[in-house]
Amino acid sequence: MVTLLFTDIESSTRLVQELGDDYAGALEQHRTVLRGAVAEARGDEVDCRGDEFSAVFTGADDAVAAAQAIQNGHDDSLRVRIGIHTGEPLRVEGDYVGVDVHRTARICAAGHGGQVLLSEAAKASLRSPVSLRDLGEHLLRGLDRPERIYQLDAEATFPALRADAAEQGLGARIRVVLADDSVLLREGVARLLEDAGFNVVGQAGSADDLLLKVRSYKPDIAIVDIRMPPTHTDEGLRAAQEIRERHPEVGVLVLSQYVESGYALELLQGNAEGVGYLLKDRVSDVKEFAAAVKRVAEGGSALDPEVVSRLVGRRRGEDPLSQLTPREREVLELMAEGRSNQAIAEKLVVTLRAVEKHVTSIFGKLRLPADEQDHRRVLAVLTYLRQ
C-alpha cells in the first residue's frame, strides 16, 4: 500500500506561448521545487514528463506534506494542480502501473491550479488531522465507479471541478482558439472557458496571428473580436469570414463591444450554421456563454438578443413573415438566438410539444419543405434576419 501524488501545470500551453524561450527556465525551477518537496517528505520520484510529475510515498501524511510544500513554493504566475490517492499499484521495472495510477491522474486532472485533491482512500489513510472539504462524488473519465473527492484546505475556494464540466457536456474536448487584442480580456475569457472544461489551444492578439493559429491548431471554434490591429475597424470580422470560407469545419463566434447590424448580416451571409455573434457583456453570464460556445462549435448558431432585436428593427417593405402569429414570431426570434426547442419551451413557459407545433407551422408558412440537403431551421432564421 502506497500513496501516489500527481501534479501538472494549469494552462501550460498558454505559458509556453507567453514565455517563449524563458519557459524552459521556469519549468526547471518548477521541477526543483517539486523534487525538493518530495525529498523533504521522504518520497520518491516516479516520472517526469513535460509539465507532468509523479511521486510515491509510504504514507498519505507525507504526500500531503509534499503537496503543501509544492503549493507554497509557487506564486500565481505558475499554478499547479495536485491529485493524491492511496492504493496498491503494480510495480513493473521501477515504475507503477494499474488502475490506481490512472485514478490518481484523473483526480489531479479534475482540479484547478493551486488546488490539492485527495481520494477517499487517501483521506482514510491519514494519521494526523488536516483541513479537508468534502467535494462529494464525481465520475472521472474512464473509471467505472464514482470517486469521493476531498480538497485540502477547507477554506480555499475554487470553481467546480473540471470533471463536472465534462459531465455536463459543456466544453469537454472542444478545442478553442481565442483572438482579442486586449490581453486582460483574452486571459479572462480563456480562464472562464478552461474552468468550463474547454481546451484553449491558442490565443492571438491580431487577425494574422489568429489565422495562423487556426491553420496550425485546427480548433473546433474560433472566438474573435471584431475590432483588431492595426486599424481596429473590421480586421477580426474579415478574419472570421476567411475562416468560414477556408475552414468550414471551424465554428466562428464573434464578440463585439456594440451592436453592429451590418457586420452581423455580413457574417451570416449564405449560412448561419456554426456561427455566432455576441456582445462582450454576455461573457459575464458564464453558463450562457459556455453554452453558446458549445452550440457554435457543434454547428449551431448563437445570436445576441440585442443583435436580433436590432436586425428586426431594420425590417421594412414587404414582409414574408407577416403570416406568422405573434407567438410564432416570438418562437422564431428565439430560434434566431440559437436556442433549442427545449430552451424555447422553458423561456416561454410552454410545453415542448407546443413549441414543436409552432416550429412546424413556421416552416410551412415560410414554404420550407423538408429536404435532406437544407437545414430548415437555419433557413427560417436567415429569412427572419434578412427582412
Q: How far apart are CA 338 and CA 282, in angstroms?
A: 14
Looking at the fold, whether 106 and 186 belong to one and the same domain comes out as no
Listed residue (320, 343, 338, 346) closest to 375, CA to CA: 338
| Chain CA centroid to CA 384, Å | 31
Domain boundary among 166, 199, 219: 166
Looking at the fold, whether 111 and 32 belong to one and the same domain comes out as yes
Domain boundary among 311, 329, 344: 311
Looking at the fold, whether 322 and 276 belong to one and the same domain comes out as no
Q: Across the chain, what does the average pLDDT equal? A: 82
Say which CATH number the domain at 235 has: 3.40.50.2300
E strand segments, 240-362: 251-256, 275-279, 301-303
**330: pLDDT strictly greater than 70:** yes
> What is the percent of the chain where pLDDT is above 70?
82
Looking at the fold, whether 35 and 97 belong to one and the same domain comes out as yes
Q: How far apart are CA 319 and CA 329, in angstroms?
A: 12
Domain boundary among 146, 166, 186: 166
CB atoms within 10 A of CB 93: 5
Q: pTM of the full predicted structure?
A: 0.49
Looking at the fold, whether 123 and 212 belong to one and the same domain comes out as no
Q: How far apart are CA 265 and CA 19, in angstroms?
A: 39
Grid cell, residue 338, equals 440559437
| Chain CA centroid to CA 311, Å | 29
Q: How far apart are CA 358 and CA 150, in angstroms?
A: 48
| Structural domain containing residue 270 | 175-311
Looking at the fold, whether 291 and 331 belong to one and the same domain comes out as no
Grid cell, residue 201, equals 489551444
Looking at the fold, whether 119 and 156 belong to one and the same domain comes out as yes
> Is the preceding omega at residue 230 within 30 degrees of 0, hence cis?
yes
Looking at the fold, whether 282 and 352 belong to one and the same domain comes out as no
Strand 175-179 relative to strand 199-204, pairing: parallel
Q: How far apart are CA 63 and CA 296, in angstroms?
A: 43
Say which CATH number the domain at 116 has: 3.30.70.1230
**What pLDDT score does 382 carry?**
55
Q: Does residue 176 contact residue 219 with C-beta atoms inside 8 Å?
A: yes
82 strand-pairing partners: 7, 116
**What pLDDT score does 223 carry?**
94
Say which CATH number the domain at 322 has: 1.10.10.10
How large is the average pLDDT for residues 333-345? 78
**312: pLDDT strictly greater than 80:** no
Quick: pLDDT tens for 127-157: 999 999 999 888 787 676 788 999 999 999 8
315 pLDDT band (50/70/90 cuts)?
very low
Quick: pLDDT tens for 107-130: 998 899 999 999 999 999 999 999
CB atoms within 10 A of CB 323: 12
Looking at the fold, whether 197 and 296 belong to one and the same domain comes out as yes
How large is the average pLDDT for residues 34-59? 94
Looking at the fold, whether 262 and 364 belong to one and the same domain comes out as no
**368: pLDDT strictly greater than 80:** no
| Chain CA centroid to CA 155, Å | 26
Q: How far apart are CA 210 and CA 38, in angstroms?
A: 41
212 pLDDT band (50/70/90 cuts)?
very high
291 in the Ramachandran plot: left (φ > 0), alpha (ψ -120 to 50) or beta?
alpha
Looking at the fold, whether 69 and 41 belong to one and the same domain comes out as yes
* Number of domains into which the chain is organized: 3
**What pLDDT score does 377 carry?**
60
Q: How far apart are CA 347 and CA 303, in angstroms?
A: 16
Which of 188 and 273 is assigned the larger pLDDT? 188
Looking at the fold, whether 56 and 154 belong to one and the same domain comes out as yes
**171: pLDDT strictly greater than 60:** no
